[in-house]
Amino acid sequence: MKDLLKIQQKLIPQAIELMERRYSILRQISLSEPIGRRTLANVLDISERIARSETEFLKEQGLIDVAVSGMTIRQEGSELLEELKDVMNDIMGLSTLQDKLRDKLGIRKVILVPGSYDKNNSLLKDVAKSGSEYFLDILKDKDTVSMTGGSTMLAFAENIKTDKKFNNVTIVPARGSMGINVETQSNNIVSIASKKLNCDYRLLNVPDELGEKAMKTLTKEPEIKTTLDSIEKTDILVFGVGRADEMATRRNLPKEKVEEILSKGAVGEAFGYYFNQEGEIVYKLNTVGIDLETFKQVKDTIAVLAGTRKAEALIAISKINKNIVLISDEESAHRILELLS
């Protein structure tokens, strides 16, 4: 099929352009359903006339449903999207971009979704879905999985879809609680993921940042110690990429502390460590959960990133650990390459 499409691309380029447009429209309906034609046109930057004619075609083909509440994708449409994904990635140049970014960063693998999260926030669902699919491909019986918190990781957990029961898998938070948003805490994300996987989980009911005395006391508690012991045995780590300034603010650090961290050139944060552009540690907090040495030794590490604003942070983290599979969007990949050039 790929060879046939390459021939078509040379002989009938307009057919490929039409295919790309219809694929993009069907994909956006899948990401944003239910969605109206006007919103669809605005998101994809096409005219309402084109949106109307193309969605009428997709409806006639039995790929979408159209209702007063908006357009939704049918099972046939979802199956077609899945069948076309690899082929369209080749046609749209995504496969080449993935290889280029992987080689430039020197990391294990890159998986990209087409488009720009900055311009279309609904793309987070596609990034999260791609990440969860890769995760399910590598997940094995008796694995211990650690997950961090954040909105990206919440989307990742919510997009795990499987009928298989992973009875002997254990999921644990990679760190303690941080900030005031309970929904995006790692404990909540672990709970959601465990229900999706039908597996065991443990919680870490302590603040992420603790004083030295409190740290020594709490880490001796049996329940907390059991979770921390599991974290040290992590087989798969899934984490969202954090900007230094955003993470320092989210941790409610004093303004002078934030200014100190940023004045040292910090661009990224992971597990309480703040890194500069060269991947050097410029500041460390006393945190509970996974540490840098465990991060470096984990067998499978998945970084999920949506948005160009996190590009510098990803570059810094990739210099610490090359054993990373990056899941991101197309524009973020271009931004990372731009910063590396």
Whether 306 and 214 share a structural domain? yes
Question: For residue 208, is pLDDT > 70?
Answer: no
Tell me the average pLDDT across 204-225.
74
How big is the CA angle at 86 (ends 83 and 87), to the nearest 5 degrees?
85
Q: How far apart are CA 23 and CA 185, in angstroms?
A: 35
Whether 27 and 172 share a structural domain? no
Q: How far apart are CA 12 and CA 284, in angstroms?
A: 57
How many structural domains compose the chain?
2
Whether 182 and 317 share a structural domain? yes
Any idea which of 57-66, 194-203, 269-278, 319-328 has the lowest mean pLDDT?
A: 269-278
- Residue 2's pLDDT is 63
| CATH number of the domain bearing residue 12 | 1.10.10.10
> From the CB of residue 77, how many other CB atoms can be counted at a distance below 10 Å?
21
pLDDT digits (tens, 9 = 90+) for 35-67: 999 999 999 999 999 999 999 999 999 999 999
Domain boundary (88, 115, 134) is at 88
Share of residues in the chain with pLDDT > 90 (%):
77
Q: Which of 280, 284, 287 has its CA nearest to residue 319?
A: 280
Whether 40 and 139 share a structural domain? no
Whether 35 and 115 share a structural domain? no
Q: How far apart are CA 119 and CA 153, in angstroms?
A: 20
pLDDT digits (tens, 9 = 90+) for 287-312: 888 988 999 999 999 999 999 999 99
How big is the CA angle at 130 (ends 129 and 136), to the nearest 5 degrees?
85
Q: How confident is the model at residue 215 (pLDDT cuts 50, 70, 90)?
A: low
Any idea which of 34-38, 218-222, 257-261, 275-279 has the lowest mean pLDDT?
A: 218-222
Q: How far apart are CA 224 and CA 228, in angstroms?
A: 6
- Residue 209's pLDDT is 64
The Cβ-side half-sphere exposure at 127, using a 13 Å CA radius, reads 31
Whether 44 and 26 share a structural domain? yes
- Residue 219's pLDDT is 72
Question: For residue 13, is pLDDT > 90?
Answer: no
Beta-bridge mates of residue 273: 270, 284
Whether 9 and 67 share a structural domain? yes
- Residue 146's pLDDT is 97
Domain boundary (88, 106, 137) is at 88
How big is the CA angle at 244 (ends 241 and 249), to the nearest 5 degrees?
110
Q: How far apart are CA 108 and CA 197, in angstroms?
A: 25
Whether 248 and 320 share a structural domain? yes
Q: How confident is the model at residue 224 (pLDDT cuts 50, 70, 90)?
A: confident
Whether 84 and 98 share a structural domain? no
Whether 133 and 211 share a structural domain? yes
Residue ranges making up the domain that contains 333: 94-340
- Residue 77's pLDDT is 97
The Cβ-side half-sphere exposure at 40, using a 13 Å CA radius, reads 28
Beta-bridge mates of residue 301: 237, 324
Place of tokens 């990206």: 152
Q: How far apart are CA 189 and CA 220, in angstroms?
A: 24
Containing H/E element for 181? none
Quick one: tokens of 192? Answer: 């959601």
- Residue 60's pLDDT is 97
Domain boundary (88, 106, 128) is at 88
E strand map for 178-280: 200-201, 236-240, 242-243, 268-270, 273-275
Question: For residue 7, is pLDDT > 90?
Answer: no
245-259 residues labelled b (16+ CB within 10 A) or e (exposed):
bebbebbebeeeebe
| CATH number of the domain bearing residue 115 | 3.40.50.1360
Question: For residue 141, is pLDDT > 80?
Answer: yes
- Residue 212's pLDDT is 66
- Residue 91's pLDDT is 86
Contact (CB, 8 A) for 266 and 284: no
How long is the chain?
341
Whether 14 and 126 share a structural domain? no
Any idea which of 126-130, 206-210, 272-276, 304-308 has the lowest mean pLDDT?
A: 206-210
pLDDT digits (tens, 9 = 90+) for 82-139: 999 988 998 888 999 999 999 999 999 999 999 999 999 999 999 999 999 999 999 9
Q: How confident is the model at residue 214 (pLDDT cuts 50, 70, 90)?
A: low
Whether 39 and 15 share a structural domain? yes
Task: Report the predicted TM-score, pTM, of the whole model to 2 decimal places.
Answer: 0.91
Q: Which residue has the higher pLDDT, 305 or 208?
A: 305
